[in-house]
Amino acid sequence: MIIGNPPWEEAVLEEDEFWVRYEPGLMGKPSSEQENIKARLREERPDLVEQYKKERTEQEIRREFLKKGPYPGMGTGDPDTYKAFAWRFWSLVSTDGNVGVVLPRSAFSAAGSEELRRRLLNEGIVIDLTFLVNNRHWVFEPVHPQFTIALASFQKTAPSKDSTLPLRGPFPSPESFDEGHLKEPHRFPVERALNWTGSASFPLLPPQPEAGDVFGLLTQVPPLGLDKPDTWRARPYRELDATMDKEKDDGTTLMHFLDEKPPENFWPVFKGGSFDLWTNDTGERYAWADPEVMTQYVHESRKSAYKYAKGRSAYGEMDKDWVHNKETLSCLSPRIAFRDVSRATDTRTVRTTLVPPEIFLTNTAPFLLWPRGNKKDESYLLGVMSSIPLDWYARRFVETHLNFHIFNNLPVPRPPRGHPLRQRVIELSGRLAAVDDRYADWAEEVGVEYGPVEGKEKQDMVYELDAVVAHLYELSREHVEVIFETFHNGWDYQERLERVLDYYTSWADRLDLDHANREEERQAGTRSDD
């Protein structure tokens, strides 16, 4: 038997993480102020510059050591220390031996731990897997209060055909843990657990038994990243790296961090915090860019990705003429973007919007490329992504980032193009997104008007969107209630739930009527044939 709580350190040192030790509150300041502070510290404290270089070199040596060790998946994502310890536990324990270990939740969700999870499910038996949210530091004082911790126990023995994956939590307090850990966990067949996401991630499920039913229903819906020739196809992509793309190799400045008003011709560089749900601009800026310089840089980058990374890059699926045509640059048109940095414990997890043209996006704000599809497909996907039902599912997997392997496996219904529910999502989403004349051409292709939507009108459209998407997922009224009740700890959801249920009932009646009319027409046609 092995019992352990291995170190969780990442074998990588980010510069911002180093400087925040000496400048508390650094990360909460505007980007331009952050850059100025770091420049001042580098000038005033050459000893710290040397310390940073030394620590970074040590971490790079450690990183390479871990990557070359017998630890599958270590080359995907950051080579966290806990991954190596988890693999050592597996290799050291004898057949039929047991392991009890404390791990970060990412061990059961991150892409870099995929092979470990598959090994556990295919060659072992998970005895118990309980998740704890470190709310108010009730588990570990030094750990972030929104961090999720896993208590895992497993046996290294071949599973039977009836083996299941048991899941408990997440418990946000000692009281909830004392009550919940005595109850029967959610149990899922191993085969289903292996296929929830492309990387066999494990979800965090509320303790209510009905939550497992809702989750099971949503997992039957095709993934967002579905690749079928006869349907739309969207792929997430990062336009600029906030650290690596500040300047070109020849020293030409790409991102300008300005305290004063930027030149009139400059375009903003957005980060994740620059937008929110149905808000295309929060006013936050990461930097500014000269569009003549940056568009050329982005254009060359995508041509390079198409040529040299075609099998790995989303641009590899695009038409060659489109890639080489500078006028098709994504930054010239409205596009769907979403926040990379997010948590399941935030008020919302999937924060997406249709950003306006003439802006650039950092890696914390990935956007969608469309190998196949049109603007109506774009409006439809934006509407589903902005809904509570999809967000409830995303919260089952997201820890600190909405990673691509999670994003691509979000369930998105694919009804026929003429389906009334799909049409209504397009109308609602398109109208909510097209808030000014920068979206005029996009709105025309979608078939909606453009202009501001505010107050009660906007709120009602958002509520109806939740209801329509719930029908697309074939959720019952009771399922909708469970989603709202378990969506966020302590949120005041009653009024919104009531309005969503009103729309849900109205659409249920309409769909029943449409079905009855179609059945009557069918029977009338049958009688006519007779």
Q: What per-residue confidence (pLDDT) applies to 517? A: 56
User: Is 78 among the domain residues?
Assistant: yes
Nearest to 155 by CA among 83, 96, 89: 96
Bridge partners for 267 per DSSP: 289
Q: Is residue 40 part of a domain?
A: yes
User: What would the two tokens of residue 519 be?
Assistant: 């059945």
C-alpha–C-alpha distance, residues 402 and 368, integer Å: 14
Asked, for residue 54, whether it belongs to a domain, the answer is yes
> pLDDT per residue over 388-398, tens digit each?
999 999 999 99
Give the CA distances from residue 293 to residues 254, 263, 265, 282, 297, in Å, rounded to whole numbers and listed in that order: 7, 14, 12, 25, 6
Q: Which two tokens stand for residue 145?
A: 């209060």
- List, run by run, the mean pLDDT of 10-residue segments along the chain (530 residues): 80 79 83 84 90 86 78 74 88 92 89 89 94 90 85 93 90 90 88 80 87 91 94 97 92 92 95 97 95 97 89 89 96 98 91 98 97 97 98 92 92 96 98 98 98 96 98 96 93 95 96 64 51
Q: Residue 502 corresponds to which tokens in the numbers above? A: 């009103």
Residues in the chain: 530
The DSSP output letter for 232 is -
**If DSSP codes are grouped into helix, strand and coil, which group holds residue 341?**
strand
Q: Which long-range contacts (CB under 8 A, 24 or more apart) does 504-513 make?
A: 504/467, 504/470, 504/471, 504/477, 504/480, 505/477, 506/467, 507/421, 507/467, 507/468, 507/471, 508/471, 510/420, 511/420, 511/421, 511/471
Tokens of 26: 């650094």
Bridge partners, residue 164, by sequence: 189
Contacts of 49 (CB under 8 A, 6+ apart): 42
Residue 504 lies in a domain: no
287 inside domain: no
User: Smallest Cα–Cα separation from 420: which of 373, 375, 372, 380?
Assistant: 380
**Both structure tokens of 126:** 């998970």
| Residue 479 contacts residue 443 (beta carbons within 8 Å) | no
Does 111 map to a domain? yes
Instruction: Decide the pairing of beta strands 335-338 and 352-355.
Output: antiparallel
For the record, the structure tokens of 136 come out as: 């108010």
| Cα-based distances in Å from 527 to 85, 515, 516, 520, 524 | 72, 18, 16, 11, 5
Three-class SS state of 344? coil
Range of the domain at 183: 2-205
270 assigned to some structural domain: no
Helix (H) or strand (E) holding 445: helix 440-446
Asked whether residue 18 is assigned to any structural domain, the reply reads: yes
Number of independent structural domains in the chain: 1
Helices (H) and strands (E) in the chain, counts: 18, 13
The residue type at 49: V
Q: Which two tokens stand for residue 435?
A: 């808030």
Give ∠ CA 76-371-348 in degrees, rounded to 5.
60
Q: What stretch of H or E contains 336?
A: strand 335-338
Q: Which two tokens stand for residue 81?
A: 């220390």
The single-letter code of the amino acid at 178 is: D
Amino acid in position 497: L
The pLDDT, as a whole number, for residue 501 is 97
CB atoms within 10 A of CB 479: 20
* DSSP category for residue 86: H
pLDDT number for residue 527: 45
pLDDT tens-digit map of 45-55: 999 989 988 98
pTM (predicted TM-score): 0.85
